[in-house]
């Protein structure tokens, strides 16, 4: 991994005077929401379309959207937020943004093959495109100018190496959306750092399915020492599975929210891998504003990494107040 991204992120934060903030995956149905951000005193400078693979009600994506809205308000950006977990439908939302001749597009690339054609249509139309959250291995080839997020395989490997140090025996890595490149990369990374890792696929749109499949696996396989979930809402469900199965397995997760903070404090979750979703949303919108108003391109051709960092009992108190404000 190119370590210059740390310097790049620091530069990105210092460059924009708008970044005065207090400070993981998602499935579900289509969400379309428009927000004209910024008060009457803030002159509108541009229009930005954010198009994600998320859905309404997911606490992780609420944080991404909050960051985007705060950046839009600070920069005088009119922001349109739309989302759909289906790759073809998400690509069509990008096309709609191109047809509306927006000034910039921020997009997630969870299913790059489905998105490639319409992302190219945007760049061919001279609309700047940045990526966030998903697609760390795909964004450059698609002509996207910047990426804000974490390298999922690197994050997974860091988690696997930590499990090795903590004396894990066997890890169950639970994937809630089959075909999502970021989730697959997380589990592949965990396995690279901790070879005794097994994948389990569940239907993330049905928490009953998540709970029953994790419960059944834990009842069947007593060697599982750790359950690795890939999103905060799914980790909350896994708490029930561990209790229901009578397993002694420890629970760890990617991504966090205020509920996970509470569960870390209660020793129900050992640690969470935090990729700072608020920051991803903020930087994506702010970078497009900087590009339009000052000609800036952030990252120097490298991903701007917002994670991974670990939240556990040693630092959860410091994060708690930011989570309560809806920004971590």
Six-digit token string for 94: 């990008």
> Do 136 and 73 share a domain, yes or no?
yes
> Do 219 and 237 share a domain, yes or no?
yes
Q: What is the pLDDT of residue 36?
A: 44
Tally of domains within the chain: 2
Q: What is the pLDDT of residue 8?
A: 42
> Do 73 and 138 share a domain, yes or no?
yes
Taking only the tens place, the pLDDT of each residue in 240-261 is 999 999 999 999 999 988 899 9
Instruction: Give the span between the Cα atoms of 132 and 148, in whole angstroms.
Output: 5
Q: Is residue 196 part of a domain?
A: yes
pTM given for the model: 0.78
Q: Is residue 69 part of a domain?
A: yes
Angstrom distances, CA of residue 261 to CA of 85, 182, 321, 327: 26, 23, 10, 13
Six-digit token string for 134: 């998903």
DSSP SS3 for 50: strand
> Do 225 and 101 share a domain, yes or no?
no
Characterize the bridge pairing of strands 77-83 and 31-35.
antiparallel
Taking only the tens place, the pLDDT of each residue in 128-162 is 999 999 988 899 999 999 999 999 999 999 999 99
Torsion of CA 148, 202, 119, 18, to 10 degrees: -30
Q: Is residue 321 part of a domain?
A: no
Ramachandran region of residue 28, left (φ > 0), alpha (ψ -120 to 50) or beta? left
Phi, psi of 203 (to 5 degrees): -95, 105
> Do 264 and 290 share a domain, yes or no?
no
> Do 95 and 69 share a domain, yes or no?
yes
User: Where among 228, 254, 274 does a domain terminate?
Assistant: 274
Instruction: Give the span between the Cα atoms of 243 and 241, in whole angstroms.
Output: 5
> Do 55 and 102 share a domain, yes or no?
yes
> Do 294 and 269 share a domain, yes or no?
no
Q: Is residue 108 part of a domain?
A: yes
Q: Is residue 285 part of a domain?
A: yes
Residue 185: its H or E element: helix 181-193
How far is C-alpha 212 from the chain's CA centre? 25
Instruction: Give the span between the Cα atoms of 301 and 84, in whole angstroms.
Output: 28
Instruction: Give the span between the Cα atoms of 129 and 191, in whole angstroms.
Output: 33
The mean pLDDT of 78-90, rounded to a whole number, is: 93
How many C-beta atoms surround the C-beta of residue 253 within 10 A?
A: 29
> Do 226 and 161 share a domain, yes or no?
yes
Omega of the bond leading into 308 within 30 degrees of 0 (cis): yes
Q: Is residue 50 part of a domain?
A: yes
| Radius of gyration of the chain measured on its C-alpha atoms | 19
Q: What is the pLDDT of residue 54?
A: 83
> Do 283 and 249 share a domain, yes or no?
no
> Do 35 and 183 share a domain, yes or no?
no
Q: What is the pLDDT of residue 55?
A: 65
Q: Are 297 and 291 in contact (CB under 8 A)?
A: yes
Q: Is residue 326 part of a domain?
A: no
> Do 130 and 197 share a domain, yes or no?
no
Indicate which CATH number applies to the domain containing 126. 3.40.50.2300
25 falls in which pLDDT band (50, 70, 90)? Answer: very low
Instruction: Give the span between the Cα atoms of 109 and 53, in whole angstroms.
Output: 8
Domain of 247 in residue numbering reads as: 152-274
Please calculate the CA angle 20-22-25 and round it to the nearest 5 degrees: 110
Q: Is residue 324 part of a domain?
A: no
């Amino acid at each position: 991994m190119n370590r210059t991204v740390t310097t790049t992120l620091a530069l990105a934060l210092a460059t924009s005077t708008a970044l005065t903030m207090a400070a993981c995956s998602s499935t579900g149905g289509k969400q379309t929401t428009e927000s004209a951000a910024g008060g009457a005193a803030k002159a509108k400078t541009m229009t930005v379309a954010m198009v994600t693979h998320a859905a309404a009600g997911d606490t992780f994506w609420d944080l991404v959207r909050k960051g985007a809205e705060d950046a839009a308000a600070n920069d005088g950006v009119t922001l349109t937020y739309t989302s759909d977990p289906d790759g073809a439908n998400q690509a069509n939302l990008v096309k709609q943004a191109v047809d509306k001749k927006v000034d910039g597009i921020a997009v997630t690339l969870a299913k790059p093959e489905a998105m490639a054609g319409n992302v190219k249509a945007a760049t061919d139309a001279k609309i700047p495109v940045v990526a966030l959250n998903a697609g760390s291995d795909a964004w450059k080839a698609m002509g996207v100018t910047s990426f804000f997020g974490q390298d999922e395989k690197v994050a997974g490997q860091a988690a696997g190496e930590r499990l090795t140090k903590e004396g894990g025996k066997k890890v169950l890595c639970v994937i809630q959306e089959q075909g999502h490149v970021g989730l697959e990369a997380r589990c592949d990374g965990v396995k690279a750092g901790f070879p005794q890792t097994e994948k389990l696929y569940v239907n993330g749109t049905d928490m009953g399915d998540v709970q029953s499949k994790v419960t059944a696996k834990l009842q069947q396989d007593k060697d599982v020492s750790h359950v690795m979930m890939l999103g905060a809402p799914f980790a909350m469900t896994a708490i029930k599975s561990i209790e229901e199965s009578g397993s002694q397995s420890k629970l760890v997760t990617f991504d966090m929210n205020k509920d996970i903070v509470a569960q870390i404090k209660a020793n129900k979750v050992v640690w969470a891998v935090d990729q700072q979703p608020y920051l991803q949303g903020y930087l994506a919108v702010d970078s497009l504003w900087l590009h339009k108003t000052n000609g800036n391109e952030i990252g120097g051709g490298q991903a701007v990494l917002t994670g991974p960092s670990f939240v556990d009992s040693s630092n959860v108190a410091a994060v708690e107040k930011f989570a309560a404000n809806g920004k971590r």
